[in-house]
Structure 1
């Protein structure tokens, strides 16, 4: 018998009949396989996705489908429209002669080993009637069980064609039932999960916002097979589109009860004109699959991201003090000098100057003016940012700065000088988001301007050590003076223009840390994180809310990417706020000069504590122990790759009477054969721990019996350090 062959079998049954197949192409990772098959009439079908077989030669025994598929392309590897297809297409075009049919047939394939850990499979398809070629790419990261999938569309017709839909991936799953975990939100309410069983028809996850595309719905999701998966059990696929603009993912349960997942750039208002001989490259759709639950899948995604995708994923990050919530727009040079001294005393690496430092004719004293005029405000900074940088250097701390270079206030010199650079309908009233409009990055002149904003900062301060790049507005009244008659290309060309700018920034300044901010997590995705070292999950820094927000983000993005600041939001004590911010990249946004001596001492000690454990959090494996959605206590731990050290964070999330940790919490990820000690850390001055630090435990005991962190209303936040006994 073929082991586990029925899992995700596309098309159902093995047969002994001589199916006239031409070719079977498995794309394998360490534990999984996606299998493509070419039929006798050159249709390319995905016949299997699931656990890989011990004997790869047996993939060819998988049946391509059953006789109830009227079209023969239900499980196409890349479904086209206008010919035989009866279901949602991955690609739809209008040819140069106006015809809207497409029938893609197999031509050739190539499989190559890019490294010991990465393989790349490419499959070329072609329409037998029209000069249209599509090449499908499957990049397999073997040890992490991750696949990136994208398509390249090329045409050699005598005139332009119109791409009406151009997905990156067309993935087929098979199970008894399917459960979708998706996310929704708003400003300060990011990453709110919803889980439902998928029913027949099409479920679409999408965004039409242009910029800040994830404001209402992020492009990440999970699909569980047969039943809703848990943290440590069940079959689950995690997927995400690597694109920073409008996205669309269709999940269609077809007539044969197979699930088709089609993901790519949203074709909403985005029919794209493609000239002869030009390649249209779609963004990658990345996914991982596990039979051991959501936790295992997320750890695979984290490992892949740190190794291959995020900027400097294997390196360190800077702790910082930000002035935003301590001053907002109201500051001057002397105030900033005082905050620099606070930065040094606190012990963090960097001072970050936030919004409000620029604009003269239209000074940036609130959010109604100044965006686009990136010259230092002479009243606030009479000696320029160079004076702040010099003072920071004298105090022994680094200096960083906030920018929002893609945006413009109507009340600005830039708007008056270049109204043609602004995205707006020429015959309609302007409509503002946070009193601003979006610059047209499809225009190369605007790309030069935005790059110049960044470049000029380094000219003024060559030691500039950090940039916070914000993006607060969505696109209203979409219209580009630059594109003229090709308005439907704006949403796509805007994002491509953004990437061109970021590529130029990274070519000239390859090592500068940059935070990806968009009124919170409005733009985070793995295409953007190639250029940014971290992202801002939410403007909501209430620590209780942040536990839930950071928890859900952590399924898709590793802790090293999450910027978490201690602020005055929320009613929780300072220790609770600091502890929550430690679950990622720690920062402060408080008036340290107003802290009482005990609070100041605690914060300084906390920075030292964090510096001792941050490498475990940033580079270790994350295990979720107790879910805030269902339990009174949220508990999560990070284990270093050698399993010698771990950090366990515990928080009270239910303030009803007598709530807390009523019994032991089982640890995960340790070595069962080793011995460990446990110790409570990051205690407030004068506080005593009731966690037993004298007993030596085996990893086996800690994972099967567990420990009680003794969380309650008096000890609402507890951090425990687990270390291998000497």
Structure 2
């Protein structure tokens, strides 16, 4: 029966191959980019073009130069196979690796069919490939967003073998490039120094960026990259690939330059400790890889991502955002109800929208007075908060502000009632000493019962305290002690099924509480993927709120994310910096405060109130406008960005003097994105009380053309100075 099935499959696939001689071409297009795939005479699918959009359809027929015979004429055609399998005649990294039930580790995929359909914002193309010797199907999916010049792609793997197969590689896609040179920009760092940008030339061999941390997976490397094609990509010049993986777990980016100088890019889940046992009929779906090709530098590519995210990916991407006051930097764990009610009053006084209660509010048998106990026991600590969370909600409502709450529902302290009842719910070894990161363990979200529990934490809090208007969802520990009591002998699924479980919970929360905004946090910026951001309105970029460090962190994250997704708070980090500089740095993103008003001087508080009012008034420009990065802190002693409203009628400029040199040459700031034919009034705002603007152009009117070609004289010599400038079309 098995032989009959394989023979029948071969006949079916052979029938499909007969059509390959007709040179089947599949075109995946945005308004600016073409990805062209072609079925070769051998029946397999190859990439023949990825680049600037071709103007004439007939030219697609000539795109077969990447497909070339192997040196041995008896071997099938080799080339840029779209989803190359292990064990085929290709000499380089595959996209998929499968060990079949009989032990054979080869997979050769042949074209079967393709189709396309309209989806929100674009066109989806689905391509079915099939192995000719084993009942294995791979479906490739592409969604092209024409206006935003974004392509989103993922794959699905399934089989009908009688016994399970082992997946040992499972990429989301493969992309190929043929350029004289390649320059990779990676984003790496650690806690409090996220997204440090570093660029290197790619030469023969492989460069791999990966992570093995499981849950807080992006602690050392963020899941996005840029590749300059032919030259170093600059802000406004050069062709550049910009890509990111929608996966909050272990990821891997492989960049391989082959023997003739071609580059293949392979984004994937990291298969480390993850040989995945796939049952008959089960579908393995890879994460989404989202990319853009910009032909005018990284700035254009960033704007592609920012617009796409607001339109289609970010939760409530077109909605407003809440400014807030957080208590963490002010109180830490040391607070009570009276202290928090005072801070709620300060929230009202400051003029922000919401008070956010951070860590330390829960646990009774094991009180959360530090980070050693209480995680998992999500009941308000009775002696700290005798009125519970609801008393704080009511206090906020009395002051006319909203109330938000910090949670870390995926984690557990061994000192907790939850761990006493369900030690098997935590990921840890049954036969080795336990290693703790931050005195905690990760709950096993591969277990559906644990998923129900974690969802129940949020559900119960919202049902018992319906006035909770916001959650800060933290994730402070990577996965340690890698063992699941639930999965038992299927440990190769843990890293993957755990992340899927995390997403399942997030999805349930969004479905049942769609109007509750949430901040994605992971000890800072160690979670920043676009899959999770389907369920979160924003993310916390870093625990480091020193405004000088934030210049680099916010510059880095802005390469892929819109300002409305990036939380930035004014705190007491770096008290040598003025309150104006700290506030102006945070105001270029989603503004918040984490500071006690009592430590501010009267004029400082007055300034903050003014800055909050200005930020709220200009939120549509800053958070929904088009961003232009003007001066990089990596390339100068200054930094500047400007935002322009969608209709071009309003703009906001943020300019910072970070570490200017003595009497260095100061260049005028040339703006971008303005309407050259409109006249704009220039007004410096966010001025300290009792001071006047020293901007030469203040209160004057200039054409957009002048402001973009001649510019403004905004920079100064003193470190830690900043300017916020509002431009209004007349």
Give the TM-score, by structure 1 length. Answer: 0.96
Cα contact 1:74–1:87 (8 A) shared by 2: no
Residues 140 and 110 from structure 1, CA distance in 2 versus in 1: closer, same or farther, beyond 3 angstroms? same
Asked if 1:72 is matched to 2:72, the reply is: no
- Equivalent residues in 2 for 1:193-208, closer than 5 Å: 193-208=197-212
Match of 1:446 among 436, 450, 453: 450
Asked if 1:721 is matched to 2:726, the reply is: yes
Secondary structure at the residue paired with 1:168?
Answer: coil
Instruction: Provide the aligned C-alpha RMSD in A.
Output: 1.3
- Alignment match, 2:602: 597
Cα deviation for residue 655 of structure 1 reads: 4.7
Residues 685 and 256 from structure 1, CA distance in 2 versus in 1: closer, same or farther, beyond 3 angstroms? same
Asked if 1:163 is matched to 2:167, the reply is: yes
- Alignment match, 2:47: 46
Cα deviation for residue 65 of structure 1 reads: 2.6
CA distance in 2, matches of 1:531, 1:711: 42
- Alignment match, 1:281: 285
Secondary structure at the residue paired with 2:468?
Answer: coil
Cα deviation for residue 264 of structure 1 reads: 1.2
- Alignment match, 1:148: 152
Match of 2:98 among 93, 98, 107: 93
Cα deviation for residue 122 of structure 1 reads: 1.0
Cα deviation for residue 711 of structure 1 reads: 2.8
Cα deviation for residue 62 of structure 1 reads: 1.2
- Alignment match, 1:628: 633
Cα contact 2:237–2:295 (8 A) shared by 1: yes
Residues 204 and 393 from structure 1, CA distance in 2 versus in 1: closer, same or farther, beyond 3 angstroms? same
Match of 1:380 among 371, 381, 384: 384
- Alignment match, 1:295: 299
CA distance in 1, matches of 2:283, 2:231: 41
Cα contact 1:633–1:711 (8 A) shared by 2: no
- Equivalent residues in 2 for 1:179-258, closer than 5 Å: 179-258=183-262
- Alignment match, 1:609: 614
- Alignment match, 2:8: none
Cα contact 1:164–1:267 (8 A) shared by 2: yes
- Equivalent residues in 2 for 1:362-401, closer than 5 Å: 362-401=366-405
Cα contact 2:67–2:80 (8 A) shared by 1: no
Secondary structure at the residue paired with 2:172?
Answer: strand
Asked if 1:701 is matched to 2:702, the reply is: no
Match of 1:271 among 275, 278, 299: 275
Cα contact 1:73–1:79 (8 A) shared by 2: no
Match of 1:350 among 347, 354, 359: 354
CA distance in 1, matches of 2:93, 2:68: 20
Match of 1:461 among 465, 481, 484: 465
Unmatched 5+ residue regions in structure 2? 1-19
Residues 120 and 595 from structure 1, CA distance in 2 versus in 1: closer, same or farther, beyond 3 angstroms? same
CA distance in 1, matches of 2:359, 2:597: 19
Residues 715 and 526 from structure 1, CA distance in 2 versus in 1: closer, same or farther, beyond 3 angstroms? closer
* Cα deviation 1:502-539 (Å, max 9, x = unaligned): 11111110110000000111011000000000000000
Unmatched 5+ residue regions in structure 1? 1-18
Match of 1:497 among 501, 513, 521: 501
Runs of 4+ in 1 over 4 A off after TM superposition: 66-71
Residues 362 and 655 from structure 1, CA distance in 2 versus in 1: closer, same or farther, beyond 3 angstroms? farther
Secondary structure at the residue paired with 1:58?
Answer: helix
- Alignment match, 2:592: 587
* Cα deviation 1:283-302 (Å, max 9, x = unaligned): 11000011100000110110
* Cα deviation 1:634-690 (Å, max 9, x = unaligned): 01111111111111101111154345x713111101111111111100001011102
- Equivalent residues in 2 for 1:509-528, closer than 5 Å: 509-528=513-532
Match of 2:182 among 171, 178, 181: 178
CA distance in 1, matches of 2:310, 2:299: 17
Cα deviation for residue 168 of structure 1 reads: 0.5
CA distance in 1, matches of 2:630, 2:527: 29
Cα deviation for residue 85 of structure 1 reads: 2.2
- Alignment match, 1:321: 325
CA distance in 2, matches of 1:711, 1:455: 52
CA distance in 2, matches of 1:610, 1:89: 49
Asked if 1:110 is matched to 2:115, the reply is: yes
Cα contact 1:520–1:536 (8 A) shared by 2: yes
Asked if 1:684 is matched to 2:688, the reply is: yes
Cα deviation for residue 262 of structure 1 reads: 0.8
Asked if 1:28 is matched to 2:35, the reply is: no
Secondary structure at the residue paired with 1:318?
Answer: coil
* Cα deviation 1:244-273 (Å, max 9, x = unaligned): 100011111112211101111111110111
- Alignment match, 2:11: none
* Cα deviation 1:163-188 (Å, max 9, x = unaligned): 11111011111111111000110000
Cα deviation for residue 486 of structure 1 reads: 0.2
Cα contact 2:637–2:661 (8 A) shared by 1: no
Residues 69 and 688 from structure 1, CA distance in 2 versus in 1: closer, same or farther, beyond 3 angstroms? farther
CA distance in 2, matches of 1:347, 1:56: 57
Give the TM-score, by structure 2 length. Answer: 0.95
Cα deviation for residue 327 of structure 1 reads: 0.5
Cα contact 2:655–2:715 (8 A) shared by 1: no
* Cα deviation 1:40-68 (Å, max 9, x = unaligned): 11110001000111112211111243646
Residues 356 and 715 from structure 1, CA distance in 2 versus in 1: closer, same or farther, beyond 3 angstroms? closer
Asked if 1:653 is matched to 2:658, the reply is: yes
Match of 1:665 among 665, 669, 679: 669
- Alignment match, 1:11: none
Cα contact 2:658–2:720 (8 A) shared by 1: no
Residues 64 and 459 from structure 1, CA distance in 2 versus in 1: closer, same or farther, beyond 3 angstroms? same
Cα deviation for residue 714 of structure 1 reads: 7.4
CA distance in 2, matches of 1:21, 1:522: 49
Cα contact 1:650–1:711 (8 A) shared by 2: no
How many residue pairs get aligned? The number is 705
